[in-house]
């Protein structure tokens, strides 16, 4: 059902519908992407999910976990709070603080606070480039999210966690530092070690997600970092690389009575 056609009624005959579907009467809802729009439109769409959850409709994922995972700062803070290894990150609103952070970290990935598929990410390793990037962010009144660049071998891992277990995983490879499939990376199915599977499951639990796409980055020095947790992940690339019926697994889990 399209978010753009949500209509809420309060008083009289209260309810929430999209087109002709009365959403208050459905058994469960699987939220997909939150479409771009104005601040008011996005808030209304997430509020609608909260309203459904408050009225006993099962959502996967919950609106709270979606809010946590679409916000990179909140995700990073929760990962650190739960003791998970995540790259050193500095977030601020001041261009002066951002420049000081760049000088301290040396080589950084600058990411938009909200975004996916690698869009808007820039690697900054010299001060002239930092100045230009930070001026652009200042002009759009953005937030500076700087993450120390991890030296890796052009690969990372995406694990799909469903119901507290890793359903499947892929290794993504690319020539440069960015391995997203949407940006030209390639994928193959892999089996994660118990240690890395446990990391992915813990990362999903840290944000309260029933299912999640967890990005793990093995560094050249042998350490592994949790980069991001996606609470509304796409799964086409993983399904094609592994042959798994991801949609079927999600429906099966959603139909199972909550514990």
Q: What pLDDT, in 10s, does the model give residues 136-171?
A: 999 989 899 999 999 877 789 999 999 999 999 999
Percent over 90 (pLDDT), the chain = 70
Confidence of residue 259 (pLDDT cuts 50, 70, 90): low
Would you call 241 helix, strand, or coil by DSSP?
Answer: helix
Predicted confidence at residue 249, as pLDDT, reads 93
**DSSP classification of residue 93:** S
The separation between CA 254 and the C-alpha centre of its own chain, rounded to angstroms, equals 20
Which phi and psi (to 5°) does residue 249 adopt?
-65, -40
CA 30 to chain centre: 16
Strand order in the sheet with 108-111: 89-92, 144-148, 108-111, 122-124
- Whether residue 160 contacts residue 151, with contact meaning beta carbons closer than 8 Å, is answered with no
The pTM is what?
0.89
Instruction: Tell whether the model's pLDDT for residue 181 goes beyond 90.
Output: no
The predicted structure's pLDDT at residue 59:
94
Q: In what order do the strands lie in the sheet with 21-22?
A: 6-9, 15-18, 21-22
For 161-170, 194-203, 204-213, 245-254, which range has the lowest pLDDT when averaged over its residues? Answer: 245-254
Whether 11 shows a pLDDT value over 70: the answer reads yes
Q: What residue ranges of the chain are covered by domains with CATH 3.30.1490.20?
A: 89-148
What token pair was written down for 94?
A: 């001041």
Please, are residues 150 and 108 in contact by the beta-carbon 8 Å criterion?
no
Using CA atoms, how far residue 236 sits from 31, 182, 220, 242, 249, in Å, is 16, 11, 28, 10, 14
pLDDT band at 117 (very low <50, low <70, confident <90, very high): low
pLDDT of residue 197: 97
Query: Which residues make up the CATH 3.30.470.20 domain(s) of the chain?
Result: 151-255
In this structure, what token pair is assigned to residue 71?
A: 């916000």
Does pLDDT of 55 surpass 60?
yes
Question: If you search the block for the tokens 């991890």, which residue do you land on?
Answer: 150
- Architecture, CATH, for domain 151-255: 2-Layer Sandwich (3.30)
Token pair 């959603």: residue: 254
Cα radius of gyration (the chain): 19
CA-based nearest residue to 187, from 156, 161, 211? 156
Tell which residue, 177, 33, 45, 210, has the closest CA to residue 116: 33
What is the homologous superfamily of the domain 89-148 according to CATH? ATP-grasp fold, A domain (3.30.1490.20)
Question: Helix 39-54 crosses helix 63-70 at what angle (to 10 degrees)?
Answer: 150
Task: Report how far residue 92's alpha carbon sits from residue 106's, in angstroms, rounded to the nearest whole number.
Answer: 17
Task: Write out pLDDT tens, residues 22-37.
Answer: 999 999 999 988 888 8
Hey, is 197 helix, strand or coil?
helix
Average pLDDT over residues 232-236: 89
């Amino acid at each position: 059902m399209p978010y753009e056609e949500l209509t809420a009624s309060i008083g009289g005959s209260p309810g929430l519908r999209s087109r002709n579907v009365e959403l208050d009467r459905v058994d469960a809802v699987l939220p997909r992407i939150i479409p771009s729009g104005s601040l008011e439109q996005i808030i209304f769409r997430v509020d609608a999910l909260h309203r459904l959850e408050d009225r006993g409709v099962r959502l996967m994922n919950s609106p709270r976990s979606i809010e946590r995972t679409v916000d990179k700062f909140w995700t990073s803070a929760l990962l650190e709070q739960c003791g998970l290894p995540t790259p050193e990150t500095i977030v601020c609103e001041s261009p002066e603080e951002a420049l000081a952070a760049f000088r301290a970290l040396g080589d950084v990935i600058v990411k938009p606070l909200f975004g996916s598929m690698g869009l808007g990410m820039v690697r900054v390793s010299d001060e002239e480039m930092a100045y230009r990037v930070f001026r652009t962010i200042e002009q759009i009144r953005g937030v500076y999210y700087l993450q120390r660049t991890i030296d890796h071998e052009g690969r990372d891992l995406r694990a799909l966690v469903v119901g507290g277990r890793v359903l499947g995983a892929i290794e993504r490879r690319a020539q440069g530092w960015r391995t997203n499939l949407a940006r030209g990376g390639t994928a193959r199915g892999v089996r994660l070690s118990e240690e890395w599977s446990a990391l992915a499951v813990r990362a999903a639990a840290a944000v309260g997600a029933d299912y999640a796409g967890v990005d793990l980055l093995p560094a050249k020095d042998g350490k592994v970092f949790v980069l991001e947790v996606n609470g509304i992940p796409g799964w086409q690339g993983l399904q094609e690389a592994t042959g798994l019926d991801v949609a079927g697994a999600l429906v099966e889990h959603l139909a199972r009575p909550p514990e």
